[in-house]
Amino acid sequence: MSERFQAPRGTYDVLGEEAAARETLEGHARRILERAGYERIETPAFEATELFARGVGASTDVVQKEMYTLEGGDGQSITLRPEGTAPVCRAYLEHGMHKRPQPVKLWYLSSYFRRERPQKGRFRQFWQIGVEAIGSDDPAVDAEVILLLAELLEAVGCRGVRLRIGSLGTPETRRAYREELQAYLRAHEGELAEEVVARVDLNPLRAFDSDHPGTQRVMAGAPRLLDRLSDADREHFATVRALLDAVGQAYEVDATLVRGLDYYTRTVFEFSSDALGAQSGVGGGGRYDGLIEQIGGPHTPGVGWATGVERILMTASTIAPVEPPLDLFVAYDGPERQVAAFRLAADVRRAGRTARLELGGRSLKGQLKQAGRANARYVAVFGGDGVTLKDSESGEQRTVEMDEVMHHISRVDL
């Protein structure tokens, strides 16, 4: 026997109930986001590698270790998208969306690729629902996107969710703060984890993320970016919080909130759930006022988030799969009756009703069992006496003509 294949590590097949739960989740996202004026966008699964190197940031784990990069065929290096923000900003520029009323509000549901170590809740191909609102630096946009994610998580019944927010200021503030933090880290080099020391030049902020006890002790006394914000940034952050307060959205201010991508400026936020264990991030995002310039456009502010579909499904309690009701099951006795049965099922479907036909070569008895399992409202049986139609609700059963079947089915309440 030849080798049997399995889905590659860190990937999975979407089957049955999970497929149904995903559809329900997508329905909630569409309803909530389109009602708030977000328009669906779909970008290609791969982009020029340089877009991510410049957009996401050369020092991030995502760009350094996790990208699936290949030769694209024209001597251009391409990368399977590890995230959606840089591609959406690329599309905003490419399609001159700055000419539309700002901010342009877009949402997506797509799959992303990161070569991470697979574990519970962490995949190499995963799905995100996300939004990007591009073209306004109004703190009300930050507050609005945060509320939309809160609403989505609430609608699908995510349990134990908490929201942390912070502000990273502008690049200038960050640069000055970075130098201050680097000097502080160098002064404590002996107490820090090796990998933290190795990253002092490239990404000192990640030191706040470390679970190394010595590093944690040092970081407890480290200078905080939130205390170094410019007046404009402090005010921006205060307005975001005031708006969240005004609508009763609970949050915690986290002065050390670090996100894994480099493009963030000002507001950052993360929703996490205790129900998830180590990979507790359900969704997160923030403002990226410098990203569009990084990828060759004019200065254009933006803010958005993404939430992991797998993570939502792991924490959600109420994503009940909705089975569409089955109007008719068509059973038939013997292959000579297959054509007539096939035609009936096709006609019923063309009339906008749901119908299922025996396709597994089962005996009539087996077919009737299937009809019961499928919860069919009507069962049509092609047998020796013509067509018998059974109404599963009333139990009534009678011999009918073909067109009478249609007549009965069309009376079922949708």
Q: What residue ranges bind ligand HAM (CB under 6 A)?
A: 83-85, 114, 116, 122-123, 126, 128, 130, 132, 260-261, 281-286, 288, 304-308, 310-311
The CB-nearest residue to ligand HAM is 308
> In sequence order, what are the residues at sequence separation of 6 or more whose Cβ sits closer than 8 angstroms to the Cβ of residue 124?
8, 9, 10, 11, 113, 114, 115, 116, 118
Spatial distance between the Cα atoms of 381 and 404, rounded to a whole number of angstroms? 13
Identify the DSSP state of 205. G
Amino acid type, 73: G
For residue 47, the surrounding DSSP H or E stretch is strand 46-48
Residue 292: name the closest of 401, 402, 132 by CA. Answer: 132
Residue 267 CB, shortest distance to ligand HAM, in Å, is 10
Strand runs labelled E in 152-289:
161-167, 252-253, 265-273, 281-287
Identify the DSSP state of 119. B
Amino acid type, 84: G
Of 83 and 262, nearer to ligand HAM (C-beta) is 83
Of 28 and 390, nearer to ligand HAM (C-beta) is 28
Of 117 and 369, nearer to ligand HAM (C-beta) is 117
Could you tell me the two tokens for 205?
Answer: 């902020």
Could you tell me the two tokens for 45?
Answer: 């699964």
> In sequence order, what are the residues at sequence separation of 6 or more whose Cβ sits closer than 8 angstroms to the Cβ of residue 20?
321, 322, 323
Helices and strands (H and E) in the chain: how many: 14, 16
Identify the DSSP state of 169. -
Of 144 and 327, nearer to ligand HAM (C-beta) is 144
Could you tell me the two tokens for 106?
Answer: 């877009």
Of 85 and 215, nearer to ligand HAM (C-beta) is 85
For residue 154, the surrounding DSSP H or E stretch is helix 139-155
Could you tell me the two tokens for 388?
Answer: 């018998």
Identify the DSSP state of 79. E
Q: What are the CA-CA distances from residue 233 to residues 69, 145, 166, 170 (Å)?
A: 37, 18, 11, 7
Of 287 and 356, nearer to ligand HAM (C-beta) is 287
Residue 13 CB, shortest distance to ligand HAM, in Å, is 16
CA distance from start to end of the chain? 49
List residues bridging with 113 in a β-sheet. Answer: 125
Residue 393 CB, shortest distance to ligand HAM, in Å, is 44
Residue 254 CB, shortest distance to ligand HAM, in Å, is 14
Residue 42 CB, shortest distance to ligand HAM, in Å, is 15
